[in-house]
Every structure is written in C-alpha cells, then in structure tokens.
Amino acid sequence: MRSITQAVSEKYSDDDEDTSGSGFILFVPRSSPRKRLPSTLILDHCEIDSVGDEQSLSSMCHEVNELDLAHNQISKWTEINKLISCLPKLSFLNLSYNALGSVNVNAPESSYPSLKKLVLNRVGIQWSDLVPYLILIPNLEELHLSFNQIEISVEQEDNGKAISEVFPKITTLHFDGNRVENRDHLLWLSLKFPSLTSLVLCDCPLWTLRWNSPAARKAQGTSMSGSSFASSSGSADSSSMASCSGDGKTSPCCVPFLDHDCSENLKENFDESSMFPHLRSISLNNSMFDCWEEIGQLRIWPSLAELRMQSCPLFRKLTEHERRELTIARLPNLRRLNGGGDISAKEREEAERNFLRRFHDCEVKPARYHELLEIHGHVAPFAEVKLAPPKVANVWVRFGEQRWNEKNLSLYMTMKELREKFSFTVGLPASKLRLWHIDIHPMLMRFPAKRLYSYNLKDGDEILIDEKLC
C-alpha cells in the first residue's frame, strides 16, 4: 500500500537514475527539473489507501484540477476530506471502485467550491450518507453514482428533512444500476435535481413511467378484464392483459386512462408535465419496459430530444428497424435516437405513415394513431406483392398425335424428373426424350437439374415431347 503523496512522487518524479553500478559515467548537462505537476493526474490502480503527508501533497499538487483515483484501496472518508482540502483548485475527482461504503462517513468541515465533477461509481455509499458532502459542494455540475444499489425511499421524505435538500446546480446525473423502479422514484430524482439536462438510468429495474406500484397497475388491468378492451388482447387472462405483445399493437394496459394513484407524499397536486423541465437527454438501456404506453410517457417531458433505449422486454419480438420506427412515430419530440445523426424529416414521415398502416385494422387504436391521422390523413396500406414463384401450373403436353392437359404440374419439379414422368406415359426411355417449352417461340429444356419455374412455365403453356434420333 502507498499514500497519494508517494504515488505522485513515484510517477511524476524527475530524479536521475542510480548509476553507481555502471562501469562508465557519462556527464551531460542536467535538464531543468519539473517546475510543476500536470493539471491532470492519473493514479488509478496504484494501491493507494491514504493521503500521506498533507503538507507535501498540498505543495506538490496545488495547481492540480483533475484527479483520477479509481480502483484503489481508500476506505476512509476522512482521507477524502484531507485530499480535497489539499487541492484547492480541484474540479474533477474520480473515486470509483474504492471501498468507501457508508460507515463512519464524517461531514467535511469546509465547503469545496471548485469541485464540479464527482465520480463515485461502485463505492457502496447510500444517499443519506452522501447528502452532507453534496451540500458542501455548491458548484457541483456532474455527479456519477452508478452501481451503488441506492434505494430511493419515498416514505423517508415525509419523516425526515431530506425533502428540503435540493441540488439545483447539478445538470448531469449518472444513476445506473440503482433501485429506480417506478414513477415516484423518477419524481424524487426530478425534485432533487431540478436542473438536470442529462440523465443516465441504464441497468435500472425501471418498469413504468405511469405507475407508483405494481399493485396499482394490476388493479388497472383487472378493472379492464371485463371491458370491451379485452378483445384487443384476445384473452381474458389478467396476467396477459398487463403487458403488450411486443409487436407494437395495443392491449388494455396501453389504453389511455386517468390515473389517480399518484403519490401524495412528495408533493400535492404535482404537475407531471413539470417533471424534468430541462432534461434534453436520457439513457434507459436494459430497463424493464413491457408496454408501449410507457414509451409514450416520454412526451410529457418538455425539453427531451435525445433518447437511448435498447434491450428492454418490449423490443424482444421486433426487428431493429421496427423498434426504431415505432419509437420515432410515438415520440414527436424526439430528435435523436440511440446516438448517430438527427432524425430526418423524411425518416419521421415514413415512420408515422407506417404507424398508421400498422394500426389501420386494429379494433383498439392508440391515441397517437388519431393524432397522426389528423396530420397525414388516411394512408392506404401497401399493395400485397407476391414475389415467390407459383407452385403449380396447368399445361398442355403434345407427343406426336397425342395431346393432353397436365393439371397441377409441380413447378418445383426438375426437368429430369419431368422427363422421367413422361417416359412412362409415352413408353420410351427418359434418355431418348427431348422436351420443348412452347410459349411464343419453342425453347429446348436442356438443363436436367433446372426446376420448371425457372423456365417461366405458366398456365396454358405447352410442352412438346419428341424422340432423339441418336
């Protein structure tokens, strides 16, 4: 183990190498020593467990503004307090993968106005223990708290003082792998971080943007089980009615409704359209959505323009093209989907028109269908074009003076098989027969392995059989 002071000295020291064991000594002019350390220090995987000499660290790193200490052995928050106090210009600090935990977390004695980006992925801290630190970082703009198994307790907001702890300067929050599950948890995040412009919630068990409990959704599905909406799912089973079929079609859970199950604990009469008022980008990869109406709720957030969402249960039965098309059609506010360039006007129009075609014959149509009908009017379905060749044909066969109609002749038969078939009819060996396809002009059918549809054989055509002379 080593201290930060030792790690900095070892990595950034300009001391000359020891040449005492060398047979020759070459004298060269001494280069000027490093006057100052770089402003960015990378000290990950250095087995650091403490700060060390605070006076030396403060002297060496006085001008440092970015420090990466990921994957080290720091386990005491008192060391973090010392560290930040020694670096008055520090604006970025990465402490990921240090086993800090939530034990013996002591609030710092002074504020840290220079710190703007803090990364605490997989450090094992809980929200209530982190709050004293965030309060003393007044200018923090970007916070990473991924994979700490943080559980959001809405009830705690009623019983404690945490409801007053708001962090309006934070605009970017990475909250991957934590216990964000439902609408109340999102509301909690929106109240805590009212200025968010970017939110990352990948690998969270988020299953709904509309409900605050599984029981509420189950009750809604049960109330619909005996209604006319049941026809859209084709089953009265309440379990099947609680989710979409995954093909973009509707089921009872997708029918718009007025939900009075909103939590009154956080804020009475909270207008959901004011949730995340400044949010421009959200990542929801590996979430648990299984209903298209959940996706439609993203329209409520007024500034949202960029969405990343892949690998959720709703998409399992859809191709990549169908997933993209249905998402674009349902979210008119979206400007970018899963990275890449902006959604073009042409792509959006095609997605919306295909959405109308998809739901044209559905008995229960989503609300978005009627909106798009006002924009594009009636959109005719695509003409059904059969590209596969026909399987059978009725053709005439002529051999000398004989002529007969061969009905339902398989066009997947090879010419060799057809020649063998006719050999029994005319009483000659197959090797002695030649077949001609008579359409506009006679054409010798010369390739034994070629299937009949390859000769463009169709109803009413004629096959002429003649005998080889040699």
| Residue 234 binned pLDDT confidence (cut-offs 50, 70, 90) | very low
Q: Who's near 113: CB < 8 A, 6+ residues apart? A: 137, 138, 139
> What Cα–Cα distance (Å) separates residue 232 from each residue in 172, 225, 249, 278, 323?
41, 11, 9, 37, 21
Residue matched to tokens 């249960």: 313
User: What residues pair up with 71 in beta bridges, in sequence order?
Assistant: none
Q: What is the mean pLDDT of residues 177-182?
A: 94
User: How does residue 224 score in pLDDT terms, banded at 50, 70 and 90?
Assistant: very low
pLDDT digits (tens, 9 = 90+) for 260-282: 343 444 444 455 667 899 999 99
Q: Which of 33-47, 187-201, 431-445, 449-463 has the highest mean pLDDT?
A: 187-201
Q: Is the dihedral of CA 368, 372, 373, 378 positive or negative?
A: negative
Q: What are 291-318's pLDDT values in tens digits?
A: 888 998 999 899 999 999 999 998 988 8
Decide: 136 and 108 in contact? Cβ < 8 Å: yes
| Amino acid 241: pLDDT | 37
Give the Cα separation of 395 and 115 in Å (integer). 86
Distance CA 282, CA 308 (A): 6
**Pairing, β 462-467 against β 433-438:** antiparallel
Checking if the pLDDT of 21 tops 60, the result is no
Interior/surface letters 234-256, b for 16+ CB within 10 angstroms, e for the rest: eeeeeeebbbbbeebbbbbbbbe
Distance separating alpha carbons of residues 314 and 249, to the nearest angstrom = 11
Each domain of the chain, given as residue ranges in start order, spans: 392-467
| Token reading at 52 | 């060390």
- How much is the pLDDT for 127? 92
H/E stretch holding 81: helix 77-86
Please give the pLDDT value at position 240.
Answer: 33
pLDDT digits (tens, 9 = 90+) for 109-155: 788 999 999 999 999 999 988 998 899 999 999 999 999 999 987 76
3-state secondary structure of 151: strand
What rounded mean pLDDT belongs to the chain? 82
pLDDT at 332: 95
Pair 70, 43: CB distance under 8 Å: no
- Highest mean pLDDT of the ranges 7-11, 67-71, 434-438: 67-71
pLDDT higher than 70, residue 229: no
pTM of the model: 0.73
The DSSP string of 261-327 is ---SSS-TT--GGGSSTT--EEE-TT-----HHHHHGGGGSTT--EEE--S-GGGTTS-HHHHHHHH
Tens of pLDDT along 382-392?
766 677 778 89
List 410's β-bridge partners, or say none.
392
Is it true that domain 392-467 has CATH number 3.10.20.90?
yes
pLDDT (tens digit, 9 = 90+) per residue, 331-365? 999 999 999 889 999 999 999 999 999 888 888 88
pLDDT at 33 > cutoff 60: no
Q: What are the tens digits of pLDDT across the range 404-454?
A: 999 999 998 999 999 999 988 888 888 889 999 988 788 999 899 999 988
